[in-house]
Amino acid sequence: MTEPEFLQVAGYEEAMAKVQGQLCIAQEFQQAWQDVLSKYPQYGGVHANLMAYVTSLRPDELVIPVEAFENMLAAPGNPFTLSAQALEQQRIEQAARAAQAAELRERQQLIDEISQGRTTYTARNNYGVSQSYRTKDLQDTPLDELKTVHQIVVGQRNMMGQSSQELRQQVQTRNAPLGRQYPPMPETWEAPDGKEYELTKRTLIRMPKEFLRVLLQRYGSAAMDERLGVTKRQEVAGQQRILR
């Protein structure tokens, strides 16, 4: 009996144990493994996978190499491992799926809070007039824009339920998001041109823009709004372009 015949027929398992890593030299096994990798490339590049395959493959399974491999995969405690590249790709895909699922949950929560379970929701438009919008239109809204719509709509609802004192407190604090405190706006102010201005609504409306910018930087927009008589409700109404 020749050596190839011995490897395939007589003492098959004993011969496999003796030659170990040299089994991949046999053309039959090389071809069988290549057939497997053509369908399951994620198991390539791992020598232990090749060894586990050829030592478990029966001679009669050489004609069905892929099916034999699938049977081995399905068996409890199969010895095959994914390649490093396949494992990294798997990690990336899992992270992408997790991020997508988190975004979907966030989107649904925002939509639920905007619509309150209704098919339509209301918000004041650019002219301060209450207007109805379809909830289903929010489904295709980009997430960043959806967050802005949520902030406006929920902010309006909260505002409508606040007392005048609460609104005044909100005006006083909204310009210090990072702990910055503005000094009180005085009744009169010496401008860069050397002139003294009374900081009344009438004067502020006519004041040059460059002076207004200085006042905004020095005393904050809340003080400016209060001096101009701009209420919180008017400010929110001015934010509604995105809803139109």
Indicate if the pLDDT at residue 23 is higher than 50. Answer: no
Using only C-alpha atoms, the chain has a radius of gyration, in whole angstroms, of: 37
Contact 234, 171 (CB under 8 A): no
Residue 124: Cβ-neighbour burial (10 angstroms; 0-12, 13-18, 19+):
buried
* Count of beta carbons in the 10 Å neighbourhood of residue 217: 10
Q: In angstroms, rounded to a whole number, what is the distance separating the alpha carbons of residues 111 and 221?
A: 31
Indicate if the pLDDT at residue 114 is higher than 50. Answer: yes
* Count of beta carbons in the 10 Å neighbourhood of residue 152: 20
pLDDT digit string, tens, across residues 121-131: 888 766 667 88
Note the pLDDT of residue 243.
45
Note the pLDDT of residue 180.
56
Mean pLDDT of 84-88: 91
Mean pLDDT of 75-104: 91
Mean pLDDT of 209-229: 82
Residue 222: Cβ-neighbour burial (10 angstroms; 0-12, 13-18, 19+):
buried
Q: In angstroms, rounded to a whole number, what is the distance separating the alpha carbons of residues 184 and 95?
A: 50
For the chain, domain boundaries: 3-74, 97-159, 162-243
Confidence of residue 3 (pLDDT cuts 50, 70, 90): low
Note the pLDDT of residue 212.
81
Q: Could you give the count of Cα atoms lying within 13 Å of 29 in the half-sphere of its Cβ? A: 22
Note the pLDDT of residue 174.
52
pLDDT digit string, tens, across residues 132-153: 889 999 988 898 889 888 888 8
Q: In angstroms, rounded to a whole number, what is the distance separating the alpha carbons of residues 164 and 162?
A: 7
H or E element, residue 190: strand 188-190
pLDDT digit string, tens, across residues 173-182: 554 444 457 7
Q: What are φ and ψ of residue 131, in 5° steps?
A: -135, 150
| pTM more than 0.85 | no
Q: Residue 137 has which token pair?
A: 């239109």
**Cα distance between the two ends of the chain:** 88
